[in-house]
A = this chain, B = another copy of it.
Amino acid sequence: MASARLDIQPIEESPSLKSRTYDALKAAIGAMKIYDQDAELRLDERALSLQFGVSRTPLREALAQLEQEGLVRIAPRRGIYIVRKTKAEILEMITVWAALESMAARLATQVATDADISSLHNLVDTFSSAALGEHMDEYSDANIRFHAAIINLSGCKLIADITNGLFMHVRAIRQRTIFERDRARRSIVDHKEIVEALEARNAERAERLVREHTLRLRDHVEQFVQLD
């Protein structure tokens, strides 16, 4: 609506080339099937700087950040490589995830509003009825959103940040995860129980359910996913 006064918005300062390059690279790596046999893991600074239309300096700073984040490895005068996580590392990530999300569930029982908790039903019920065998992708997305929602309910920004970082890596092996029908069905039951525990404000139970749920995923990956 119009106003008699100037409605001033703060000028959003345009992100630097460095940060934009960083985002673009991260997205590109995220979209890549790095665990495919024929995946090209080698990156070339000069080629990338041409493709992005940016000089090597901001590109290198972006790469340095990605290296610290563990997405690439920079070998001096050897090359820059996208890192493939080992299975052990993936398992550790899922373990950390379990620790953080279970703490998030605990926090959620203390700080989330009833309305917020109720909104979780939308994410669970959608797929209780859906034909599971055919919508594994959608199920997978809803699954992720459910877990992200719990983390948000905790109100702990740091937990959200860390798990987001982990997700980047874990997502890459999602395509390799065998989502059998039984696992998906079990998962939905778990989710329902988690919501119930949250609604009952039962911190211990919510924490335990979330932890066990995620640790089951870890065991499943350990047993059935082959990476190398």
Contact = CB atoms under 8 A, between A and B. Distances in A.
B156 A96 contact: yes
B103 A16 contact: no
Contacts of A93: 158
Interface residues on A, range: 20 to 34
Interface of A: 13, 16, 18, 57, 60-61, 64-65, 68-69, 76, 89, 92-93, 95-96, 98-100, 102-103, 107, 156-159, 162
A100 B65 CA distance: 24
Report copies per complex: 2
Contacts of A96: 100, 103, 156, 158-159, 162
A103 B218 CA distance: 14
Nearest to A16: B76
Nearest to A14: B76
Contacts of A159: 92, 95-96, 99
Closest 4 A-B residue pairs measured CB to CB? A99-B103, A92-B158, A61-B64, A99-B99
